[in-house]
Amino acid sequence: MTDSESTARRHKQLIREMIAGYAVANEIIRVEKSEWLQSMTPGDSWDTFEELVAFGRRLQSDPTALKVFEPRRIEEHVHMRRVFEKLAITQGLL
């Protein structure tokens, strides 16, 4: 086995481990969010909602804020989707 084959094998393993780690982290975050939401009182819920509404209104009062952030946010989501899709294809998962 050549060095490049060995390196490629290690990289593939690291990528598999990284994806598995993301899956574990996502599950932990999902459980934590669920626990947090279940522990909220109706008053806590309304406070959070009002804070989000106030933040949204501040953004809406500055039209350039949404115009600046939204395309970049979408661009990043699409880019990461393509990266993971290519990775899954090269790993034989798709």
From the number of C-beta atoms within 10 Å of its C-beta (0-12, 13-18, 19+), residue 14 rates as: exposed
pLDDT of residue 72: 82
Rounded CA gap, 18 and 82, in Å?
Answer: 17
pLDDT (tens place) for every residue of the chain, 94 residues total:
678 888 888 889 999 999 999 999 999 999 999 999 999 999 999 999 999 999 888 887 887 777 777 788 889 999 999 999 998 888 888 7
CA distances to 36, 38, 55, 56 from 42, rounded to whole Å, are: 13, 10, 20, 21
pLDDT of residue 1: 63
Q: Choose among 15, 30, 41: nearest CA to 49.
A: 41
